Structure 1
Amino acid sequence: MVGLNPATAPWADRRDLIDLARRLDARFVGGAVRDTLLGLAVADIDLATPLSPETVIERVREGGHKPVPTGIAHGTITAVLPDGPIEVTTLRRDVSTDGRHAVVAFTDDWREDAARRDFTMNALYADPATGELFDYFGGVDDLKAGRVRFIGDPLQRIAEDHLRILRFFRFHARFGQTVDEAGLEACTRRANDLMALSRERIAAELLKLLVADRAVPVIALMVERGIFRAVIPEIDGGGADRLAALAAREAQAGIVPDAIRRLAALLPPDAAESVGARLKLSNVDRKRLIAATAGPGDEGPRALAYRVGTGGAVDRLLLAGEPVDAIRDWTPPSLPLTGGALVARGIGKGPEVAKLLRQVERQWIAEGFPDAARVAEMADAAVAQT
């Protein structure tokens, strides 16, 4: 782990961001601080401030930037800066929660704001100018130990937001080395709470989890603990084994892990359509999930890639345990023959042209996609037989 050095932090050369933080008496918070401490790339930079949302809007404008009230009821304003948007959130405390939504009140107490966050590693704050860390619940020590730990009573934190069950495992798959037993037991006891969540939220967390570094052992742990049973009962020990096999093939082939492909491995083939619909995946992802389970076909990998596209072929080959070397750096060609070329050979316009075109295409695929000269010979032979 590296120290948080403001001179080398991701925001070091963003003078507009540092000026905004100063105007708002703000600190960097959450993932940006955590990932900087770990020496990881920072995706998003968030600010926390004791100022009210209305004051934040005024001061963002005073700095020459556009404020957008993206979540003003919960204290969040997006400041549109030249180098990208920054979310600024007023310090908060929870007034009431129901497992899905929270009613909040604003506060100027940094510790109170930290106490409502989920895990200790996400409740870290840093001074924009000095890099000084503010760690109210031992988050730095947990980062060093690779331990994802709830702030306070895990059961209470899960009762506040049931999605924290899946987040616990996702963060463990990304950062964890030692599982926090108290958190694990709480998630196991409250797994049925996931039924109260929208399937879209469940899908979003699951897809992120599936491409995390330690997704394979963590998914196996979740299956063992019955975490999925209430919402995706199709995921079982067999799915965990298929996921492990797929991940090994991806690594061996140098293929980047993909969430939809891995979800297809987790599910029995006959469950892809129903689970895709239940999780309300996009039409594109749902079709891909179903297609991935269709098997490698019997024409060979390049023929498969030609028919379904390289991405779809990679999914199907990897899931079937077939090699993908033949299509790794191969671009499916276009058939060097048109219906017009057949008409020019004397075939009358109509269904016969399409029939002959398909016939030549099948032979072209079977012969391994030969060049235009060979295709012309095939076309001449096909026409001669009519």
Structure 2
Amino acid sequence: MIHIGVDASSWENERGFGRFTRNLIPALAARDTGFRYTLLFDQPPTRPVPEGVGVVIAGSDQSMSEASSGTAARGGADLLTMGRAAKRLNCDLFFYPAVYSWFPLPARRPTVVCFHDTIPERFPDLIFPRRRNFRLWQVKCWLAKMRATRVMTISQASAADLTRILRIPSNRIDIITEGAEPIFRPAVDAAHLARARSKYGLPQDAPLLVYLGGFNRHKNVLRLIDAMQAILADVPQTRLAIVGRNTGARFWDNVEDLKSSAAADVARSASIVFTGEIGDEDLAALLNTADALVFPSLWEGFGLPALEAMSCGTPVLSSDRGSLPEVVGNGGLYFDPLSSEALAAQAIRLLTEPGLRDTLSGNALAQAAHFGWDKGAELTERSFLHALQRKGQE
């Protein structure tokens, strides 16, 4: 059996890297292909770990998410603690599901590091609260890419960026994919869908747009809120549900700016709902009852919320940047994310053009079928084997 050690310090993150890790590892563990896995946690996990997967607790003073919030940075002592614990695993290969939580491994051992995107390099002023945070990020990424045996990423768009921006040769990069969890599927229980709307104060018959994701500035949610003025002028009953952590905790965001903008006029104030984080069951129901997911991001490495929406048969009003055209395909309509007018025009078109949403819904389901965690796990194993083969050739 090939023993793979895994950095699991992002396991507790609600979405993003946490969801990626929590979905990929079970898919890997379910494959009977000669691999076994041990997860290395900084602190004891509160979320379930797949059966048959080993668990080791390094015992860091702070979790990775806490240590990397706001203007903070992960402490050197915690990095050493994780590195020493990883060395003691004595695995054949060590896997970092996100360069975000990378730490140096004090051992000559093959490693695979997943660089999800180059958003921090594209938009440092939107991602980091201080220049120092960006410099620390650059140092970490440089060390990670230099020490990685193979580099993994999650889309063709990201792979091109890794070569163009981070100067990682394309022959060192392996591309995998993501998938939506099974709960994200078309729903037919009208009462269940109605309850989801009622729970969040959304009228049953109102046209509904949903935003799902984080509130870092590159997510461009402020432009979506700005676009609501024009959307409401043409389709006055429209509601916008903004779903995600809005407490301002963990990462540098502009939640307060978003709330202020939403409250700036009476029409938007009555039409925009901040739901906060919600569970997957309610989230799937909300996506099923929505006319569209709106994804105004300036750049994405993959765009999992878009895939989750399309898996429910919900079209995506999508930015035309980064990986989103690759993921959304013909399952939505596109706009320039720098233009509130372009966003509003596509939303109005989807909400008013007869038959358009039904056509896009069918396209969305067909496009979503091209993705899946099983496929992602198969491609991940290939990346591991590439790294091990390279080690054998040294």
More helix by share: 1
Q: How does the TM-score come out when normalised to structure 1?
A: 0.26
Larger radius of gyration: 1
Q: How does the TM-score come out when normalised to structure 2?
A: 0.26
Specify which structure has the bigger relative contact order, considering alpha-carbon pairs within 8 angstroms and separated by 6 or more residues.
2
